[in-house]
Structure 1
Amino acid sequence: MPSFLEFIFTFKGRERPFAQAFFRHENYLEEEDPTFSLPMLGRSSLLIQHAFNVLSIEKGIGLGGSWVLRQTALYHAFDVRYGHSLWIVLKGDGLMRKRIPKAASRQPDMKPASMTSATRSLVACLHVHLIILEWSAENWGDFVDYLEEKRTVNAIDARLAPVAEMTSPMQIAQSFSRRGTIDTTVSKRSTFYSQESSPRQNSGVPVSPTSPIFKRSFSNFLRRGSDLQTVQENCLPGEQATEDATAGDADEDALNDFDLKFSFDQFQRLSLLGDELEQGIISIEQNKAVLAEIQAQYETVLKSPAFKAHVRLEECTGKISTFFRRLRSIEREMDMHLVRLKALSRAIDSDKVVFDAALQYKSTRTSEYFAHSAKVSSDRMEEWTMKMHGIAVKTEQETISMHVITIFTLIFLPGTFLATFFSSGVLNWNDEGLLDADWALRSEALKLFLFICVPLMIVIIAGWSLMYVVVRRKRKATESAIHDGYADEKGTTHESPAGLGIQGQPERLPGA
């Protein structure tokens, strides 16, 4: 039977277990052809033959006790005239090699001495079929129990978790506050590394852009701390009175529990569990299809005139009825496991919905928290703007006053200077009438005045000029650094390829 090669080729090295079950048959129950008959070997041309494989679940060895899908393939040929049978059983271990001889030693119908006719051989063949088919339905109950336990471990917390308490504004604010504290430490390290790398940039050595892990700055922590203060200011007085250090620790633990109970890793585990369930459901449904094909095969064969002519069915009517009854029993057992698997699959889908609803609820509460924080911050900024407006008005009034004072100072400054100069003793006035003129210049006093005043003026002008040059150079260096790179809103400076246009090509001036 060439189609049996399809079953043989499935037994090979593969990453995932083979998960397909099917049935093939070729019957030759027409008139006997002498060309294909070998009487000396006990072979005739009247032959029924079929091949199939079934799937079952077995506990793996050395895989952490996990359940794996296994298959057993069978080829069977039965000579209707002489009652000879040919069996080829394929399995990845020696389980069937032990079960079939063990059953043959216990079942009288399977002992070689009892196979004296085609009818008795047919009964033995039916027993071998039952051994294979019963194996395909024997471990599914334990597998379903294992999946139910895994589902309970992964989903019980999600169904009973206090989501509303774990997504309160206070806990959301505490979450961002703790993250901001961690980011502040990372930001300090980033500042240290950037200071070390700045001399390289000045020396012309290319430096890679700042790593994304160092992109958070101290302003994030201040902003999140402000959000936490905003939430604390908007809490009810009664709630503030009932909070203490123990409650704070409990809130922190509750938030950590939310991250654990509704983590994406747990959602992935539920998804993988759902995949195992789907694989089990598909395997049982395929086994049921093979079971129906085997039942239809023998029902057709038993009604064949050629088969009735060589096999005395009246001698094994009870055995055949028992065979079909056990087939129906195996099918009912598979149906029971299938119902449990489908119910568990629906429960896992429900758990996924709970997970998704919890995550969406947290996202909604977080959005509400940020919207409320933005409203409070906006009101506070408006209040600050009004205060700054008042300060600006006062500053404008003071500026006008300073302008008036400056104008009057400029008007009276020459007179003040002359009055100071005339009263300094450089000039002598003829108040007592002892001089030949109304006034006399004291040249020594004038020289002393100029000797002290002129160098002092030169020193002041030179110092101001030096400071002006230094500040101007620093400003130009800062402007050139800004032109060479750009700084984002977090204060991180990024380098941009100078002189390069789109696709890394050199820029060209217009008209070039």
Structure 2
Amino acid sequence: MSSRLIYAKLSSKPLKITPPILKRLLTYHQVMPAFIDFIAVFAHPPQQREIGFSGFFDQTVLSYKAVPGNVAQQQPPAANTAQPLAQAPRLPRGPTVSALGRSGRQYQLCYNLKRVALIEGSAKDKYSEQEWSVQQSEFHHQFDVDAGTTLWMNAKGRLNSKGGSKDYRDRVLELTGGQAGVPNELTFDTTEDCFRSSLTVHLMNCHWATDDWRGYLNHLEVAIGELTNEVPVGIWLNQKFTPRVLQDVQQFEEKASSAVMVLESNMEVMTELRKFYEKLMVNADFPMKDSCVEEATIFIQQLNDMIHAFARQKRRAKLLVEITENRKNLLLQKLQSLATKKMEDLTTLSYREAIVMKIIAAGTFIFLPATFVSTFFSTDVVKYQDSTNGKGSFSWAAMNIWLEVTLPLTFATFIIGFVAFYVADERRKRRMPSSYDEKNKNP
């Protein structure tokens, strides 16, 4: 068994390998080109991570190709040996390199899986103090059905975090009898043992993807519950509801939706992995379809169990998304009601101020004649100061001058007021057109 681990410090950082070394590694092992698409997801900023990218690719070369007749005739029969009529010799369709344990009959698999891990805080901490990360891992596997040569290539991020590359490497070492491992867990004595061990590694990869989903969904449920538990119940106009709460609810809803997408992608990859081995076990060119049928059946059954477990978590996440969406819509309506209530309060305040102004205007109107008379008698139209007999004097000249000045100014005031009112009303109609227009009324 040969294993190659390519890692990065973080999923958003470049892999710890140079392009020339990567090309040499992939060329030496004749890795299928699809693996390039999987490792290309690294070195992207967190906001641009291709978390939705997933896939499963396989390449199977188990059949033989017939040797042309002229090549077969170049092999003379042994002397004094009866030679029956034999078929033309067959050669594997794949490249044969005996020194590297390559018989030319092999299959390749390339897929990726994702999991969640709590990288900061603990499950007992408040939801705002917890930080969860969606981690992905790319797997490439080759198996030679004649020589038993096995290759595993894995690309991961977050070397020292929980569920990261170091955790995965230690698990592989344990399975293969490395550092403080269990030597009998995986054996490679025969071709059948190599095949059984490859199934065990597949299961280890799938189990890696199933970890912590229950805790992550519980974290989302607690967070959304604390933010929205008072939305469907309690008073309608709750001052606790702010746009910040709506923003937090939206963020957790997006996380729940992403969880649904990741769960579905894991289910699809595991389903394709199961279908591949189901087809492999009925392939007539696969030499271990009879000797390893029991192990393959157990492997397929365990894959089915994990797929069903993912289906349960997906239903839980989809229900959480629906509840969050409904509560978010109700929260938005309550925020709109709060805004409407504030506008009503402002309108009421303006109405009260208008009433006060009307009272002042009415009082001014009542006292306007007296003010006018007092002002009129203080002019030179009527004079009492210089009269000796107690009678006043009246001047038509002063009266005419007063009328000539007052009436034009009064008329001009009315004209200016009317024009200003008309302009303001037209501007209001353009900005806020009426929902009921007499001109458009049906006859």
> What is residue 173 of structure 2 aligned with on the other side?
101
Pairs within 5 Å for 1:122-271: 122-164=195-237, 258=239, 261-271=240-250
Quote how far apart the aligned CAs of 1:325 are.
Answer: 0.8
Quote how far apart the aligned CAs of 1:412 are.
Answer: 5.0
In the alignment of these two chains, the number of paired residues is 316
> What is residue 493 of structure 1 aligned with on the other side?
none
| Structure 2 contact 221–320 (Cα < 8 Å) conserved | yes
| Structure 1 unmatched ranges of 5 or more | 167-257, 414-512
Q: Work out which of the residue numbers 22, 34, 44 in structure 2 matches 1:3.
A: 34
What SS is found at the alignment partner of 2:290? helix
| Structure 1 contact 18–69 (Cα < 8 Å) conserved | no
Quote how far apart the aligned CAs of 1:2 are.
Answer: 2.4
| Structure 2 contact 93–105 (Cα < 8 Å) conserved | no
**In structure 2, do the counterparts of structure 1 residues 327 and 402 end up closer, same or farther at CA, with 3 Å as the change threshold?**
same
What SS is found at the alignment partner of 1:329? helix
| Structure 1 contact 18–70 (Cα < 8 Å) conserved | no
| Structure 1 contact 37–44 (Cα < 8 Å) conserved | yes
Greater Cα radius of gyration, structure 1 or 2: 1
> What is residue 21 of structure 1 aligned with on the other side?
54
What SS is found at the alignment partner of 1:88? strand
> What is residue 386 of structure 1 aligned with on the other side?
362
> What is residue 186 of structure 2 aligned with on the other side?
111
Quote how far apart the aligned CAs of 1:41 are.
Answer: 4.1
CA–CA distance in 1 between the matches of 2:93 and 2:176?
A: 34
> What is residue 357 of structure 1 aligned with on the other side?
333
Report the residue type matching 1:9 in the other structure: A
CA–CA distance in 2 between the matches of 1:134 and 1:332?
A: 13
Quote how far apart the aligned CAs of 1:131 are.
Answer: 0.4
CA–CA distance in 2 between the matches of 1:6 and 1:34?
A: 26
Quote how far apart the aligned CAs of 1:68 are.
Answer: 0.4
Quote how far apart the aligned CAs of 1:40 are.
Answer: 4.6
What SS is found at the alignment partner of 2:46? coil
Pairs within 5 Å for 1:26-37: 26-31=59-64, 32-33=91-92, 36-37=95-96
CA–CA distance in 1 between the matches of 2:323 and 2:93?
A: 62
> What is residue 156 of structure 2 aligned with on the other side?
91
CA–CA distance in 2 between the matches of 1:285 and 1:156?
A: 28
Quote how far apart the aligned CAs of 1:326 are.
Answer: 0.7
Quote how far apart the aligned CAs of 1:287 are.
Answer: 1.0
Report the residue type matching 1:81 in the other structure: D
> What is residue 255 of structure 1 aligned with on the other side?
none
Is 1:375 the counterpart of 2:351? The answer is: yes
What SS is found at the alignment partner of 2:384? helix
> What is residue 51 of structure 1 aligned with on the other side?
110
Report the residue type matching 1:111 in the other structure: L
Quote how far apart the aligned CAs of 1:406 are.
Answer: 4.3
Quote how far apart the aligned CAs of 1:401 are.
Answer: 4.2
| Structure 2 unmatched ranges of 5 or more | 1-31, 65-90, 123-128, 158-164, 390-443
Q: TM-score with structure 2 length normalisation? A: 0.65
| Structure 1 contact 109–123 (Cα < 8 Å) conserved | no
Q: CA RMSD in A?
A: 2.9
CA–CA distance in 2 between the matches of 1:69 and 1:150?
A: 17
| Structure 2 contact 115–212 (Cα < 8 Å) conserved | yes
Fraction of identical pairs, as percent: 19
Quote how far apart the aligned CAs of 1:110 are.
Answer: 4.5
Is 1:297 the counterpart of 2:276? The answer is: yes
> What is residue 75 of structure 1 aligned with on the other side?
140
What SS is found at the alignment partner of 1:286? helix
Quote how far apart the aligned CAs of 1:120 are.
Answer: 2.7
Q: Deviation per CA, 1:169-203, whole angstroms, max 9, x where unpaired? A: xxxxxxxxxxxxxxxxxxxxxxxxxxxxxxxxxxx
> What is residue 330 of structure 1 aligned with on the other side?
306
CA–CA distance in 2 between the matches of 1:102 and 1:18?
A: 31
| Structure 1 contact 22–52 (Cα < 8 Å) conserved | yes
What SS is found at the alignment partner of 1:304? coil
Q: Work out which of the residue numbers 250, 255, 276 in structure 1 matches 2:255.
A: 276
Report the residue type matching 2:324 in the other structure: I
Higher relative contact order (CA 8 A, sep 6+): 1
| Structure 2 contact 148–191 (Cα < 8 Å) conserved | yes
What SS is found at the alignment partner of 2:229? helix
CA–CA distance in 2 between the matches of 1:403 and 1:85?
A: 118
Q: TM-score with structure 1 length normalisation? A: 0.56
What SS is found at the alignment partner of 1:36? coil
| Structure 1 contact 7–73 (Cα < 8 Å) conserved | yes
Report the residue type matching 1:391 in the other structure: F
CA–CA distance in 1 between the matches of 2:102 and 2:200?
A: 22
CA–CA distance in 2 between the matches of 1:65 and 1:377?
A: 52
What SS is found at the alignment partner of 2:197? helix
Report the residue type matching 2:43 in the other structure: K
Q: Which has the higher helix share?
A: 1
> What is residue 314 of structure 1 aligned with on the other side?
290
| Structure 1 contact 109–124 (Cα < 8 Å) conserved | no
| Structure 1 contact 109–120 (Cα < 8 Å) conserved | no
Report the residue type matching 1:5 in the other structure: I
